[in-house]
Structure 1
Amino acid sequence: MHRIFACLFLVWVATAFAGAAHAQVPPSPAEIAAYDGLHRAAHEDDAEAVARLVAAGADPDARDGSGRTPAHVAAFASSDDALIALAAAGADMNALENGVYDVVTIAAVADDPEMVSLAIELGNRADLVTSIYDGTALIAAAHLGHHEVVRRLVAGGAPLDHVNNLGWTALMEAVVLGDGGPDHVATVRVLVGAGADTGIADRDGVTPLRHAEARGYAEIAAIIRAAPPR
């Protein structure tokens, strides 16, 4: 039990640190006002302008001051048509901005399932290692309880059991950083149903089931207990 309480403290520290820094940073109002060319077209979801600018020689992978390409800006703005036009123009759909995020992870954190599916269809890999935590879009979505995004990432080939540099899988994050409510219950159900390994423990040897039990997340614990043996 002491080990679990120690783990809970470490989770609190990690969560506080993650919330204080290194989160995704969308373009600020000042940055948006200063955008021109493809970055403006991406923000405004202007596919015709994207095609016209690229035809005139604009670089589809140009970077702003935070390393965002027009595709990243399109993801933050949920600009589906612009993203399609950028992909058609040869934009790198797996580019990472300065915060180490790609289009899929930006959309996953924003709880934008349609953008997630579209980006994968356009060539953005669901298995990219993203963020300073060496995670994935699936881990980010599971952490936040974005269960429909989780469902689409799983369908798109996201690795179920990737372990980030905190020692956590998507399932572990859904438990230790979730609130045990309906969204995280649904997230756990998707992950377990897809075959996530429920036995992968954290660095202290505590499993997702034990974390769920310690927090009183009865429904999540029941889903994990019912998982088929591996």
Structure 2
Amino acid sequence: MSLLRTFSRRCLCLAACLAALAPLARAGAYDDFFTAVQRDDAETIIALLRRGFDPNTLDPKGQPGLILALQNGSDKAFIALMASTQTKAELRNSKDESPLMLAAIKGNLEAVKLLIARDADVNKPGWTPLHYAASAGSPRHSEIIALLLEHHAFIDATSPNGTTPLMMAAHYGSEQALQLLLNEGADPTLRNQLGLTAADFALRVGRKESAEKIAAAIRKRQPNRGKW
């Protein structure tokens, strides 16, 4: 009985020690995970996930690892996270941005394809991936716009303040993106909550050529309108 009691006491002590060390282990894994994402260290990420670390953990600012990888251009980290079936492709940050939105604004076409393949929401409420793709100006962004539209992105999606992707393209995007949206049927007559049209967005930043393209699209729809 004495031996049994001694063994039991030792087991209890060991359990208590392990319980005390567990929070430290979790804290170490937490720091290691986000450091690995920043450093594009796929091997460490894979090792942590194999040990049971949750890939959907948020950093102190409410950012999931997938979004941080996209923000930092950590492509290997992004691939490592996407390889896990536990990773949520639609997990949003504290600003309600999705990984697909970040991939779209970064012009990361391959990431956009991978996220869409994992059922990322092309038409999330509020600001959408199409808004984000339309707000930048590289040829890759036009490819992403075309891909999102191919996957049934709503071309006239309105943000919380009524802004459409066409308005974003008129103010921030490229002429190519603007023309693509017009060609695909974006409505140039819509107004946001301030009463501004896509043409107004263009004129506010001195983009007269963009405003003319929008005016031409309006004239096609309504022959007596669209003259500035």
**TM over 0.5, yes or no?**
yes
Paired with 2:37 and 2:151, the residues of 1 have a C-alpha distance of 24
Offset of residue 154 of structure 1:
2.6
Highest RCO, 1 vs 2 (Cα 8 Å, sep ≥ 6): 1
Among 135, 141, 148, the residue aligned to 1:143: 135
Alignment of 1:208 onto 2:195: no
Paired with 1:136 and 1:224, the residues of 2 have a C-alpha distance of 25
**1:121-172 deviation per Cα after TM superposition (whole angstroms, max 9, x unaligned):** 333222223xxxx311211232333533333333343321111122211102
Paired with 2:210 and 2:135, the residues of 1 have a C-alpha distance of 17
Alignment of 1:45 onto 2:40: yes
Residue of structure 2 in register with 1:221 after alignment: 212
Residue of structure 2 in register with 1:114 after alignment: 110
Offset of residue 66 of structure 1:
0.7
Alignment of 1:158 onto 2:150: no
Offset of residue 108 of structure 1:
2.5
Q: Which letter does structure 2 place at the counterpart of 1:218?
A: E
Paired with 1:220 and 1:153, the residues of 2 have a C-alpha distance of 24
Going from structure 1 to structure 2, the CA distance change for 1:224 and 1:95 (only over 3 Å counts) comes to farther
TM-score (norm 2): 0.68
Offset of residue 73 of structure 1:
1.7
Residue of structure 2 in register with 1:85 after alignment: 80
Offset of residue 226 of structure 1:
4.2
Alignment check: 8 A CA contact 2:105 2:133 kept? yes
Residue of structure 1 in register with 2:181 after alignment: 191
Paired with 1:216 and 1:51, the residues of 2 have a C-alpha distance of 47
Alignment of 1:100 onto 2:90: no
Between the two proteins, what is the percent identity of the paired residues? 27
- The structure having more radius of gyration, on CA atoms, is 2
**Structure 1 residue ranges without an equivalent (≥5):** 1-33
Alignment of 1:123 onto 2:119: yes
Going from structure 1 to structure 2, the CA distance change for 1:39 and 1:195 (only over 3 Å counts) comes to same
Alignment check: 8 A CA contact 1:160 1:196 kept? yes
Going from structure 1 to structure 2, the CA distance change for 1:88 and 1:115 (only over 3 Å counts) comes to closer
Alignment check: 8 A CA contact 1:75 1:103 kept? yes
Per the alignment, in what secondary structure is the counterpart of residue 135 of structure 2? helix
Give the total of aligned pairs: 188
Paired with 1:60 and 1:204, the residues of 2 have a C-alpha distance of 41
Q: Which letter does structure 1 place at the counterpart of 2:76?
A: D
Paired with 1:45 and 1:213, the residues of 2 have a C-alpha distance of 41
**Structure 2 residue ranges without an equivalent (≥5):** 1-28, 223-228
Offset of residue 208 of structure 1:
2.6
RMSD, matched Cα: 2.9
Paired with 2:90 and 2:78, the residues of 1 have a C-alpha distance of 13
Going from structure 1 to structure 2, the CA distance change for 1:204 and 1:58 (only over 3 Å counts) comes to closer
Alignment check: 8 A CA contact 1:192 1:224 kept? no
Q: Which letter does structure 1 place at the counterpart of 2:184?
A: A
